Each structure stands twice: as C-alpha cells, then as structure tokens.
Structure 1
Amino acid sequence: MKNILIYLAIVALFSLNSCSMFELDNYDLPDETLIGEVVDVETGQPILTDQGSEGIRVRLTEVSWGENVVPNPDFFCMPDGTFQNTKLFAGTYNVRIDGPFIPLIREDDRGVPIADDTQTIDLNGQANVRFEVQPFLNVEWVKEPEVINGKVRAQVRVTRGVTEEDFRAKIEPMGGYSNSFTNVTDIQLFVSYSSTVGYRARDERWSSQMEFSGASFNSMLGETITIESNGTIPEGRMVFVRAAARINYDTPRGSGTRRWNYNEPRQVLVY
C-alpha cells in the first residue's frame, strides 16, 4: 500500500509540471546590432589590426541592471578596424576596446580613475559607435612589394602615432612606468594565401621578422626599412603580404599581449 501511495504522488507531481515542461521557449532570439569603427584621432584613418586575439579586443558590458555585472564574451575587430555584432539583446551597454593605442581606461596604481574614454549606448535596433584613438605606431608602404627570386621584398616606413612625451604623460600616472615601453621591438612581414593575412593568418614558411633590442630602432623611425620573406614561394602562387610593428607595451596593462600596428594588405603574384 505504501508503494502505491508513493507512485500516485509521483504521478500527480509529474502531471502538475508536465504542461510547463513541454512548452516551447517563446523568448525572442537576440537580434540587435552594434556596428563600430576605430580610427586615428589625428588622421581619421582606420586602425588596421589582426583578425584574432592579437587584434583590437571589443568588450561589451550590459549595464541595464546595474554596474556589478559580468561582461559579454569578448570579440575582435576585423582587419580594417571595424567590428559588428548582430546577436545582442536590447539594453544599455558600455563599449570598451583595447588595442595598439593609448588605453581608453586608465587608473593609477591605487585604482583611482584617470581617464575613461569608453562609450555607453542604448541599443534598440542598430547602434553605431566610432572610437578615435592614438595609435602607438604608423606602418606605411614606401613602395609596392616586389618579387625577386621567389621572395617578396617589402619597403616600409614606421613612425610614431603618439609622441614619446604624450605617451609618457598618459601612461606614467598609471604607475610602474618604464622608458622601455616606447621601444619598437620588432617588424613583421606576414605572408599568407588569405586576404586576412596577419599573425593569426600567416604562413610560417615565408613570413619573416626583424627584431630590435632596447631603443636601437629609434634611429630608423621615419626611414625606409627593407624586409624580405623567408624561403622560396613557388612560382605561380598568389599571396597576400602585410607588415606590422609593435612597441614594448601590453594592452590592457598586465595582459602580456603586445599588439601590432599594421599597414594595408597587398596581393602579390609570385613569378
């Protein structure tokens, strides 16, 4: 008799909940859209970046329900310095980006805010944001890359996007400042079959780099730098090439990620 009563109780409980168990989820899928771009505050030119975690990181935090909330999953800019997210819920968001430029959020070593250039938006439908930043470096083509005996030879020019004095004025108050932060540490020539060529889309057989110690690169700022690809690229192949340079400073601070500033990709036929 006891077993029968237990069975009847279980059946009754299941009956009470069965309607809700088999109801379809009627919540709307997120379909709000955020579109953004990151440009040089001085020139208005896009901040060219990598397609991946070494590129410009975008962090959204929905603040509709208060300040102590967890950020949405990070995503990254496209190589041309633009970003888009089409799967967001309506709400109020703080938009923060981190990349090879003066940080938008700066605090001193006690956590006291110095600057906050993030943006807070109300998203309902589509919202557009534009960030004007100070890039660490500018990387430019001096001439179109050429092919010599199966190698790509590139000539580039690297200049500072922010002066050492301005960099120091904005970074030193954060604490732990070092004169080595502004040192150019390397120039990369990335080679790939992909038009999104960069650190994350490179062919290691042909990509090459030039490394510099201390402040040794300072005398080459603004000068023409020649860098060649490694190995021999097979004849008849179409490849994409791109140059990049970075300084000895990680963003966000303490992340260990030193991000490159890039120039535009070029398509090259190997003959």
Structure 2
Amino acid sequence: MSTKNITSIILLFALIVLLSSCGLNDLDNYDQPDAGLSGRIVDDETGELVQQDIIRGGVIEIVENGYVTPQYLVLKNDGTYANTRLFANSYTVQPKRGNFKVVDPQEVNVKGQTTLDFRVTPYIRIKDLDIEKDGNIIRATFRLEQTSVSNVLKVGLYAHPDPNVGEPMHLARKEVNVNEIVDPNEVFQIELDTFSDPDLREGKLIFFRVGALIDVPEAKFNYAAAVSIKL
C-alpha cells in the first residue's frame, strides 16, 4: 500500500473520530429527566391502601403538558405507584382500569420528587378476614362489603411463594362463583387442600390472598393483604 493511501486512511479515520465525538457531545447536552411522581391509591372510607394485582392490574395514566401520547405506570401490589424519571412540567394524571369507581383526572405540577395520592371507592372491601392452617387445609373466612349495585362474580383464595400472589399469579387456588349482590353480614368460607398440590410442600413459606371480582367492565379483583403461612 502506498504512503499516499495510508495517509488518506489515517485522515479518514481521524475525521470519523472527530465527527463521532461531536455527536456524543451533542447527546451529552440533552436534558435528562430531573423529576418524579409517586403516590398511593387510598380507600376514601378506611384510609387503607387499595391492594392491587401486579399483573393485569390498574394503571396510572400520565399525559405531559404539550404532548398527546400518554405514559402508563403499573400500580404496585400494595396500591402505590412511582416514576422517578420524569421531566419537570405540568401533567394530567388519572388512575384507570382499576378495582375502584372512576375518579377524575388531576392536574399536577411535577417539580423535583412530587407526591400525588388518589382517594377512591373500591368496588368491594374484604372485611374480618381470617386465614388459618388446620392440618393440610388452609381456611379463609371473611365478609364482603360492596359499594356497587352490580353482582359479585366470584371470590377466591390464591397461593404462591411470592407476596404478589393473586388471581393472575398463583400456584394453587380455590374459587367460588357468587353471581349475585351479597349480604354484608354473610360470612364466606373457602378451603384449600395443600396435601393434593405438589407445589405446596410441607415446610415451605407460602403467601395466601383472598380476592373478589365485581361485574363491572374492565374491573380488577379487590384484595385483602396477603398472609404468609409456613406449611
């Protein structure tokens, strides 16, 4: 290869490096997200967090001022949400597709780490819950308090080693079809036999959670907090 060709290659390589470094400098000059939004979904009567499903659960819709396309945050199992990487701006925020009655959107100015809670009315409250182990049987007793005139479709007891257990995430379950408006004084009892299920081995720590589903479009299960039991 001639000296002229080698010189040309060196000059071309130097030009590529120079252009690349300019591009990286341009990228470095872009603003980075400097704010965040977090909050809770709170029962407007009891003040407790409204338990959620981490899979196919409710979401928080966020629309930044000046933009059309929304962002969606999945509600956490315990009824909280968070996005720590937003740009400081005003946003329209609304919970959607949840296990509670529709709530109005709120306008919020996000600057730094901002908190926004929503007070909601859950479709169903699970009351007086007791989950106990009796030999190989896990027995759950509870009452339901519904806030909608729609039927309660079903109730269920769900089991999994993960505390995010629920209807879409379980190793074992026992469900009972209801299909009616419930009497708030009625005591429900669900029994799950662990002996016949190989996933529920003796000595293992398992989380059990009771849920109930209302007959409302896009409604999700309402839950009580999961209870851990060593089998």
Q: Normalised by the shorter chain, which TM-score bucket?
A: 0.7 to 0.9
Tell me the equivalent position of 1:177.
none
Match of 1:25 among 15, 24, 27: 27
TM alignment of 1:5-44, pairs within 5 A: 18=19, 20-21=22-23, 23-26=25-28, 27-44=30-47
Could you say if the C-alpha distance between residues 124 and 51 of structure 1 is closer, same or farther in structure 2, counting changes exceeding 3 Å? same
Counterpart in 2 of 1:102?
101
Give the conservation status (yes or no) of the 8 Å contact 2:124–2:222.
yes
Identity of aligned residues (%): 26
Matched, 1:208 2:174: yes
1:246 is the counterpart of 2:209: no
Q: Distance in 2 between matches of 1:100 and 1:198?
A: 13
Asked if structure 2 preserves the Cα contact closer than 8 Å seen for 1:37 and 1:131, the reply is: yes
Deviations 1:45-97 (CA, angstroms, capped at 9, x unpaired): 211111122x221111001x26xx1102x121112211111111111111110
Mapped partners of 2:140, 2:132: distance in 1: 7
RMSD over aligned CA atoms reads 2.2
Aligned to 1:236: 203
Q: Distance in 1 between matches of 2:166 and 2:228?
A: 13
Tell me the equivalent position of 2:58.
Answer: 56
Kept in 2, the 8 Å contact 1:207–1:230? The answer is no
| Alignment partners' CA distance in 1, 2:40 and 2:129 | 26
Q: Does structure 1 conserve the Cα–Cα contact (< 8 Å) formed by 2:138 and 2:194? A: no
Rate the CA distance shift 1:228–1:89 in 2: closer, same or farther, 3 A: same
> Residues of 1 paired with 2:144 and 2:31: CA distance?
49
How many angstroms apart in 1 are the aligned matches of 2:53 and 2:24? 46
Alpha-carbon separation, structure 2, partners of 1:83 and 1:23: 34
Residue of structure 1 equivalent to 2:125: 138
Tell me, in whole angstroms, the C-alpha distance in 2 between the residues paired with 1:22 and 1:191: 50
Q: Is the 8 A contact 1:59 1:75 kept in 2?
A: yes
For these two proteins, the number of residue pairs brought into alignment is 210
TM-superposed CA distance for 1:22, in Å, is 5.0
How far the C-alpha of 1:163 sits from its partner, in A, is 5.1
Runs (4 or more) in structure 1 with deviation over 6 Å come to none
- Structure with the higher strand share, 1 or 2: 2
**Partner of 1:207: helix, strand, or coil?**
strand
Partner of 1:107: none
SS at match of 2:219: coil
Partner of 1:71: 70
1:91 equivalent in structure 2: 89
1:195 Cα offset (Å): 1.4
Query: In the TM superposition, what is the alpha-carbon distance from 1:261 to its structure 2 partner?
Result: 0.8
Q: Is the 8 A contact 1:141 1:263 kept in 2?
A: no
The residue number in structure 1 matching 2:5 is: none
SS of the aligned residue for 1:45 comes to: coil
User: Which residues of structure 2 form unaligned runs of 5+?
Assistant: 1-11
- Indicate whether 1:159 and 2:120 are aligned: no
Q: TM-score, normalised by structure 2?
A: 0.82
CA drift at 1:268: 0.6
Matched-pair contact (CA < 8 Å) for 1:150–1:234? no
The unaligned stretches of length 5 or more in structure 1 are 1-10, 105-116, 165-181, 251-256
Do structure 1's residue 218 and structure 2's residue 182 form an aligned pair?
yes
Partners of 2:41 and 2:31 in 1: how far apart?
31
